[in-house]
Amino acid sequence: MKITNNNGIPEPIVRAIKKGWYSGAGAKHYCSVTELLKPEKMFVLEQRYRDTINQEASDLIWSLMGSAMHRVLEASETKNTLNEERLFATVNGKIISGGIDLYENGIISDFKFTSVWQYLYKSGITLWEQQLNLYSYLYQSAGFEVDKLQIIMIFKDFSAAKCKYEKNYPQQVEVIPIEKWDLSWCRHFIAQKLDKLERALSLSDDDIPACSPQERWQDPQKYAVMKKGNKRALKLFDSKESATRFISSHKDKKRLFIDIRESIPRRCNYCVVNRFCNFYQTYKNMKDNLKTA
């Protein structure tokens, strides 16, 4: 992958980004836990086009900040902890690997340098549960005892004022417990994912099924009933017909209108292989045609 700097961010930051902090670089394995959990289409396209992928340095700044945090945590390592230790396990004849942020006293912790929005809406929690349980499988397979899994969220957009006055607003650091799977179920989950990746690798680019709406971070299209002069919707509906019926029976119907909340595949916009993806190209062409219509 080539790192570009078309946005002209300072060169020292670009050099730091290019240095490559990933602990699994050069590891002799079929894939890492992170790669295993990617959608099949994304995994295969990244494998096939890795030498032609370009990524803008400015898009990797928060990733760099996360790497910096991990290096600081490594400096706090004691004789009773393991930081960024990469372990390996073989499932169905294929080697997978993973490096966790911290193992201490039977607890696997993964640090997330993230947004308050992600905490409030629990965005990504399913993927995090999968990720930590796969790490747990690696550690248990290596003979370590694992009693507990947790996410430690550090908020990059934390507001002390909002924390003081807004209900449900998090502290600057929040610990999220993660449900621990049975070891046999972990192995079954890994085996299934490996089978899916193998089948996808045997297909042509366009024949690989598109990522699911959930994998694309794509919410269903909604129809918001709005009142003139108000910024917030009175009510959201899954269909235009339902929204229209609501308006027709409302006492203030002359001041109401429908605002379409478009279904947007948010992850696709950041995907490094979207230019090779037939789903994204079809979506992009449709959007471009609507703009020029």
Same domain, yes or no: 166 and 226:
no
Residue 67 pLDDT level (bands cut at 50, 70, 90): confident
Predicted local confidence at residue 26, as pLDDT: 56
Predicted local confidence at residue 27, as pLDDT: 63
pTM of the entire predicted model: 0.84
Tell me whether residue 179 is in a domain: yes
Same domain, yes or no: 131 and 40:
yes
Predicted local confidence at residue 289, as pLDDT: 78
Give me the phi and psi of 53, to 5 degrees please. -80, 130
Same domain, yes or no: 189 and 280:
no
Residue 9 sits in a domain whose CATH number is 3.90.320.10
Predicted local confidence at residue 43, as pLDDT: 96
Domain end among 207, 240, 264: 207
Q: Range of 287's domain? A: 222-292
Q: What number is the average pLDDT over the span 151-176?
A: 93
Check pLDDT > 90 for residue 200: yes
How many domains, in total, are found in the chain? 2
Alpha carbons 27 and 30: distance in angstroms, whole number: 9
Q: What number is the average pLDDT over the span 3-29?
A: 79
Q: How far is CA 223 from CA 30, 90, 162, 215, in A?
A: 44, 48, 30, 22
Check pLDDT > 90 for residue 282: yes
Each residue's pLDDT tens digit, 204-230: 999 999 999 999 988 889 999 999 988
Greatest mean pLDDT among 53-62, 85-94, 128-137? 128-137
Same domain, yes or no: 159 and 253:
no
Check pLDDT > 90 for residue 291: no
